[in-house]
Amino acid sequence: MHEMGIASSILDGVAVEVRRRPGSRPVKVGVRIGELAGLDPDALRFAFEALTLDTPLAGLELDIEYRAPRGRCRECAREFEVRNFELLCPACGSRNAEVISGDELEFAYLEVEEDEPCAAGRKSPE
């Protein structure tokens, strides 16, 4: 339900990075989202598209890495992926485990196209 705000925050992050790289054009932005962040990837893609439509960022691709939470067994210290929200150690079968990640909402990468070195308007070396 708050995917629009998240999409807007992602675009703010892209804008900051692009300003640091004059002459570059963003093509794709990657984010990591944990299942526990409470975000629906489809709704986020929809919001992202709606916000970029008819703007200079139209066509910018959003790559979402949707991650299952990870748990750690308190009996045998094994780290494992939590499936279906069930904390169960696959090694020793114990349920005495804790969640160590899963609500992340982070930037991963930005793919940019840089201007060709010989592009017009560029100063040639003296």
Among the listed residues 61, 79, 81, 114, the single contact to other proteins using CB under 8 A: 114
Residue 44 CB neighbour total at 10 angstroms: 21
Dihedral angle computed from the Cα positions of residues 34, 36, 40 and 42, in that order, rounded to the nearest 10 degrees: 30
Binding flag, residue 60, other proteins (CB under 8 A) = no
- The number of residues that bind other proteins (CB under 8 A) is 39
Q: How far is the CB of 50 from other proteins (least distance, A)?
A: 16
Question: Within positions 72 to 111, which residues make up the interface with other proteins, using CB under 8 A?
Answer: 84-88, 95-99, 104-111
The strand order across the sheet containing 70-73 reads 79-81, 70-73, 97-101
Specify which residues 81 forms β-bridges with: 70
Q: How far is the CB of 61 from other proteins (least distance, A)?
A: 12
User: 3 — phi, psi (to 5°)?
Assistant: -65, -30
Tokens 């139209």 correspond to what residue? 58
Measured distance CA(126)–CA(124) in Å, rounded: 6
The tokens describing 125, both together, are 């070396």
Binding flag, residue 31, other proteins (CB under 8 A) = yes
Instruction: Decide whether 53 or 113 has the Cβ nearer to other proteins.
Output: 113
Binding flag, residue 51, other proteins (CB under 8 A) = no
Contacts with other proteins, residue ranges (CB under 8 A):
1-2, 5-6, 9-10, 13, 17, 21, 24, 27, 29-31, 36-39, 84-88, 95-99, 104-114
